[in-house]
Every structure is written in structure tokens, then in C-alpha cells.
Amino acid sequence: MSYPDIVLASASPRRRELLAQLGVSFSLISADIDETPQHNEAAADYVQRLALQKARAGQAMSQTSLPVLGADTVVVADGEILGKPADFAEFARTMQLLSGRCHQVMTAIALVNAERQLQQLVSTEVCFRPLNAAEIAAYWHSGEPQDKAGGYGIQGLAAKFVRRINGSYTAVVGLPLCETEQLLLQWQEQL
């Protein structure tokens, strides 16, 4: 199976590790964009817009003819997008909201070059067991939640909070491998 060489427009070490699992040859570029949600923007629209903007920004920065892959992940509970926590108070509020409940993790991917683009959205249900205040504080002090969408990393210490998932584990980590591979194969077929 042959994949195109690509550029990954991401600073995420988790996305690099996941993409490497596919055996894809890629170079890296970090594409910073404004991640402010637009007024009344639905979570699915928001995450797809950011993935596409990251890919487009990466393409503009790298000035390559290779396809550029952008991705973004958001955690959504009760229709609210839960971003990276700014401080402990915001993190604790997020964890209390997720405690003992199910929420959605949406990851969008976009593959672009100057002539075309392909996109995919993956939504996964994640269910947490009930969390107490001591567990929430201990997790915060581990340092892991600070740079994570929704304040947790399923691949790290927060795995013990997860009662079950319905969907793609790798999408929750940050890059849905099944869908990414399908997008790469579709790209190859259209050449």
C-alpha cells in the first residue's frame, strides 16, 4: 500500500506519533491560526474549519506541491466546546462537567494542496466515571491537562477516568488513523 508523501501542519507530538504508525513519509510545519470560535458556530463546523485553516496555512508556509494534512480536536459537552484550560478553576469546572457523564470528542482532518481538498469529521462518545475533588486536583498537578482539549489526555493518566468509548480511540488522541488512511488512499486514487 502506497501513501503520498505529505506535510503535517501540526505541532502536536501525539499527531506525529499516530501518523508515523501508518508508515506515511511526512515533514512537519507548525501552522498557528486564530482558534476563536465564530458567533453561534456549531462544534462540528468549528473543528472542521480549524482543520482546513491549519492545512491551508501549512500549505502557504511550506509552499510545496505536496498535500498538507491539518487536524483539530475539540471536546464537547452539552453543546459547549471545552478548550484547553487556562487555569485550575476552569479545569476543575470542566472535569466536574465531564464527571459521571458522556461527552463528544470531535476530530476533523483536512488534506489540501493548491488544486484540491478532502475533509473528514470523526465524532466519538467518551464516558467518564464519577470523579471526586481529590482526583481532579491530583490530575491537574500531574501537569498533563494544561495543553489538552477538554483538559485531559485519554492516552495518559486520564485513561483511568474513562468508563467506555464509542468510536475511534485514535481520534480522541488527536488523529483518527482509519479515516486518515482512507483520506490518503482516496487522494492517491484521484491522481
> Quick one: CA dihedral 166, 169, 172, 174, positive or negative?
negative
Question: Quick one: which H or E segment has residue 112?
Answer: strand 102-112
Beta bridge partners of 120: 109
User: CA 187 to CA 172: how far, in whole Å?
Assistant: 24
| The Cα angle at residue 190 between residues 188 and 191, in degrees rounded to 5 | 70
Active site residues: 72
CA 163 to chain centre: 20
- pLDDT (tens digit, 9 = 90+) per residue, 79-98? 999 999 999 999 999 999 99
Structural domains of the chain, with CATH: 6-189 (3.90.950.10)
User: CA 67 to CA 64: how far, in whole Å?
Assistant: 8
For the chain, what is the radius of gyration of the CA atoms?
Answer: 17
Global pTM value: 0.94
Task: Identify the pLDDT of residue 138.
Answer: 98
C-alpha grid cell, residue 46: 468549528
- pLDDT (tens digit, 9 = 90+) per residue, 117-153? 999 999 999 999 999 999 999 999 999 998 898 999 9
- pLDDT (tens digit, 9 = 90+) per residue, 27-69? 999 988 998 999 999 999 999 999 999 999 999 998 888 999 9
For residues 149-160, average pLDDT: 95
Task: Identify the pLDDT of residue 174.
Answer: 95
- pLDDT (tens digit, 9 = 90+) per residue, 180-191? 999 999 999 887
- pLDDT (tens digit, 9 = 90+) per residue, 99-124? 999 999 999 999 999 999 999 999 99
C-alpha grid cell, residue 161: 477516568
Picking from 90, 135, 117, 92, the residue whose alpha carbon sits closest to that of residue 186 is 117
Contact 77, 68 (CB under 8 A): no
Picking from 150, 50, 34, 35, the residue whose alpha carbon sits closest to that of residue 94 is 150
